[in-house]
Amino acid sequence: MDRYTDRIVKLFRYLKEEKHETIISAQILRSGTSIGAYLAESRNAEGPKDFVHKLKIALKEADETYYWLEKLYGGGYIEERGFSSMASDNDEIIKMLVASVKTMKTKYNFDK
């Protein structure tokens, strides 16, 4: 996760310094770094439901980050190669989060 967060920060700096883009760059910095922050919070969850709740928020942030990546690519701020690479990493994070939430829900019989 740290590698992905570092890439988000570098993308933010690139967008601000090279492309002079300020709005979407701030959005993707916030959502992209929030994923790792919520995962860090989940380590100190007050129980299984709180743990799942934090993972679900991280999942929402990952979905939002993908949205901003699409907008940056569609707007010509990032090339296809960069978009594909970042989107692929983001997709892996989403898959991991979905699997973790499903596992926890099954293990603790949540939402049945």
Largest CA distance in the chain: 50
**Computed from CA positions of residues 8, 10, 15, 19, in that sequence, does the dihedral angle turn out positive or negative?**
negative
Alpha helices in 1-47 (DSSP H): 2-17, 23-42
The pLDDT, as a whole number, for residue 26 is 98
Separation between Cα atoms, residue 112 and residue 109, nearest integer Å = 7
* Mean pLDDT, contiguous 10-residue spans, the chain (112 residues): 95 98 97 97 96 98 98 98 98 98 93 62
The pLDDT, as a whole number, for residue 112 is 56
Contact 24, 68 (CB under 8 A): yes
The pLDDT, as a whole number, for residue 61 is 98
Write down the residue that tokens 């860090």 correspond to: 40
Give the global pTM. 0.94
Tokens found for residue 92: 């892996």
Contact 66, 97 (CB under 8 A): no
